[in-house]
Structure 1
Amino acid sequence: MRLGILRSNGVWEIESFVDDVAAAADAGFSSYWIPNLDVQVDSLMALAIAGPRVPGIELGAGIVPVWTQHPLALGQAALTAASVLDGRLSLGVGIVSKPAVEHTWGIPFERPITFMREYLEILHPVLANKPVHYTGQLLTARAPAILPVAPEPPLYLAALGTQMLRLAGSHSDGAILFLTGPKTVANHTTPLLSAAAKAAGRPAPRLMAGIPVLCTDDVEAGRKLAGKKYAAWASWPHYRAMFDLEGVNGAEDIALIGNEAAIRDGLRAYFAAGADDVLCYEFGETQTDLRRTRACLTELVKEAA
């Protein structure tokens, strides 16, 4: 049972972030991921600072939205971070959601599958430190190898729907999910991802399932908190489709909420469905909630060791 931490709240201060990465490494978590939100530190820069001070844990930047920087620029940043992280950097990219893209950045959310395919076709050779000469419908790239001394970080794609999962299998090293239930992982995600990788002649893809986790005795309060925290997500078409496939109303029905035994059972269901890793997005209203959740997950890591 390979468990990672998916940083759940904004990171405003680097030292406390480094401390949390160190605590996760000491506890035995296999990975620590930080998304590139528009209201916190840059994920690649933060990991490049933390990594040399915290050995022995995979460090994931993701999801990094693809709309705001050219793949050559993202590749340059990722390789720079990789050069100081001893082969422990992983990179996750995604199209995010139409409301976020158009509202936050004012960028038209047009032809996302084509845009992502071309982005990956440029980014993969860049990360492998190969020259790129590419002219697509939406993107162009012409560059020599950027940083030959840097190790190649694996590249993962945020994927929920059929087209994006097929793209993840054929053009990346695997997929990162969020708020996708175990039934959907077993019947939808895993078959599509694996078939696409096989058809493309690629190795078996890695599947990472990100899921909100709250260890508590007050399940009803936890469900209300999850419903409030992720209320908007139920209206976003790609997440609404995942909820419908799972047969649930919203995030409050997907998040793992309950006591230690309930959390253990919920996590095991994801591994049984085909996930290689579960990335735990700890949430709660108080520091007591967060401490209990981390303690519960730490104990499960120890049991699995």
Structure 2
Amino acid sequence: MRIGLYVGQAPGVTEALAEVRAAAQARLDSAFFSQVFRWDALTVAALAGQCAPDIELGTAVVQTYPRHPIALATQALTVQAATGNRFTLGIGPSHAAVIEGQFGLAYDRPALHTREYLSALMPLLRGEPVDHRGETLRTKAEITVPGATPPPVLVSALGPVMLRTAGELADGTVTVWATPRTIAEHVRPRIEEAAAAAGRRAPRIVAGVPACVTTDPEGVRAGVAAQLGPASQLPAYRTLLDRQGMSGVHETVLAGDEDTVAAGIRAFAAAGATDLLVSRVGDATEKARTLELLSRIRHR
């Protein structure tokens, strides 16, 4: 299983790039960036390619509704060229509270929207002419970016319909708040079955997890609850947490001593995750201990 850092809480671009350098120095495999309301993840990925020349860079995830497939394909291929073809594009429809409440767009039929979005995006990334006329979007274009190969595309998928779409049309999925049991029993069987039925190769299953090597695991979880607690009430996450018997996202944090966190990481590998994206939480000392552990596990 590949191991990378999920860069989602750094306060600015400088700090985000420092996280990438730390991942590279620890000889991890990747660094992925969130797309919220702090920075543009694709721009930061392009910048990161200049300061960390060897690791995979990606997004987890860019919201689809605010970006037309032509615009996103153009930007993603530009990042791919700028990073020497080390970029992975993670996308997702996000949540109604974000798309309607903040962007002011209609969160209309997200599963169909995602299928139609991928139907336009994937051939655009391959440099093929597209004339897609669907129920939720229309696309007519052909894009050429010299020096860029088609980047892998991951879809944020938790439910059965989205997992089927990801398996049929994309290169894999990226999850958040999902436990190893959920990946083994729910995510992996569905996406692998869909990929096989579509004649596609085995999909990547990229699992995101907060982790902290600490002497105070409950204190760390309390901090995550205070910071990210509202995410627990988003419908897609609430459904997932209820399935896992959890009250909130803070319960998904891997926290404890080195042996405890290492055991949690091994559980993701055993469940079938191909990649683990670790969001380091806690204070500076705890984050340093966590990074050291990740490096040891990856190169043991």
TM over 0.5: yes
Deviations 1:192-228 (A, max 9, x none): 1111111111111000000111111112212212222
The answer to whether structure 1 residue 287 and structure 2 residue 284 are counterparts is: yes
One-letter amino acid of the structure 2 residue matched with residue 64 of structure 1: V
Q: How big is the shift at 1:301? A: 2.2
Three-state SS of the structure 2 residue aligned to 1:103 is: coil
Counterpart in the other structure of 1:6: 6
Q: Return 5+ residue gaps in structure 1 as ranges.
A: none
Query: What is the correspondence of 1:26-65 to structure 2 with a 5 Å cutoff?
Result: 26-40=25-39, 42-65=40-63
Question: Separation in 2 of the partners of 1:88 and 1:134?
Answer: 28
Q: How big is the shift at 1:148? A: 4.7
Question: Separation in 2 of the partners of 1:82 and 1:277?
Answer: 20
Query: What is the correspondence of 1:130-169 to structure 2 with a 5 Å cutoff?
Result: 130-169=128-167
The answer on whether the counterparts of 1:129 and 1:148 sit within 8 Å (CA) in structure 2 is no
One-letter amino acid of the structure 2 residue matched with residue 75 of structure 1: A
Three-state SS of the structure 1 residue aligned to 2:65 is: coil
The answer on whether the counterparts of 1:4 and 1:32 sit within 8 Å (CA) in structure 2 is yes
Question: Separation in 2 of the partners of 1:225 and 1:244?
Answer: 21
Q: How big is the shift at 1:54? A: 1.7
The answer to whether structure 1 residue 297 and structure 2 residue 289 are counterparts is: no
The answer on whether the counterparts of 1:8 and 1:282 sit within 8 Å (CA) in structure 2 is no
Deviations 1:50-106 (A, max 9, x none): 213321100112200011110100000011111121121100000111112222111
Runs of 4+ in 1 over 6 A off after TM superposition: none
Query: What is the correspondence of 1:161-240 to structure 2 with a 5 Å cutoff?
Result: 161-240=159-238
One-letter amino acid of the structure 1 residue matched with residue 24 of structure 2: A
The answer on whether the counterparts of 1:127 and 1:153 sit within 8 Å (CA) in structure 2 is yes
Deviations 1:106-148 (A, max 9, x none): 1121110111111100100111111111111111111123325
Three-state SS of the structure 1 residue aligned to 2:102 is: helix
Structure 1 residues 141 and 119, CA gap change in structure 2 (3 angstroms): same
One-letter amino acid of the structure 1 residue matched with residue 293 of structure 2: C
Question: Separation in 2 of the partners of 1:249 and 1:71?
Answer: 36
The answer on whether the counterparts of 2:7 and 2:16 sit within 8 Å (CA) in structure 1 is no
Q: How big is the shift at 1:39? A: 2.0
Question: Separation in 2 of the partners of 1:252 and 1:85?
Answer: 34
Q: For the aligned residues, what is the CA RMSD?
A: 1.4
TM-score by length of 1: 0.94
The answer on whether the counterparts of 1:8 and 1:283 sit within 8 Å (CA) in structure 2 is no
Q: How big is the shift at 1:150? A: 1.4
Three-state SS of the structure 1 residue aligned to 2:262 is: helix
Counterpart in the other structure of 2:113: 115
One-letter amino acid of the structure 2 residue matched with residue 128 of structure 1: R
Number of matched pairs: 300
One-letter amino acid of the structure 2 residue matched with residue 59 of structure 1: L
Question: Separation in 2 of the partners of 1:75 and 1:11?
Answer: 27
Three-state SS of the structure 1 residue aligned to 2:31 is: strand
Question: Separation in 1 of the partners of 2:35 and 2:247?
Answer: 28
Q: How big is the shift at 1:237? A: 1.7
Q: 1:127 aligns with which of 125, 140, 144?
A: 125
Question: Separation in 2 of the partners of 1:178 and 1:241?
Answer: 13
The answer on whether the counterparts of 1:215 and 1:257 sit within 8 Å (CA) in structure 2 is yes
One-letter amino acid of the structure 2 residue matched with residue 243 of structure 1: L
One-letter amino acid of the structure 2 residue matched with residue 53 of structure 1: C
Q: How big is the shift at 1:11? A: 4.7
Question: Separation in 2 of the partners of 1:11 and 1:81?
Answer: 22
One-letter amino acid of the structure 2 residue matched with residue 169 of structure 1: G
Identity of aligned residues (%): 35
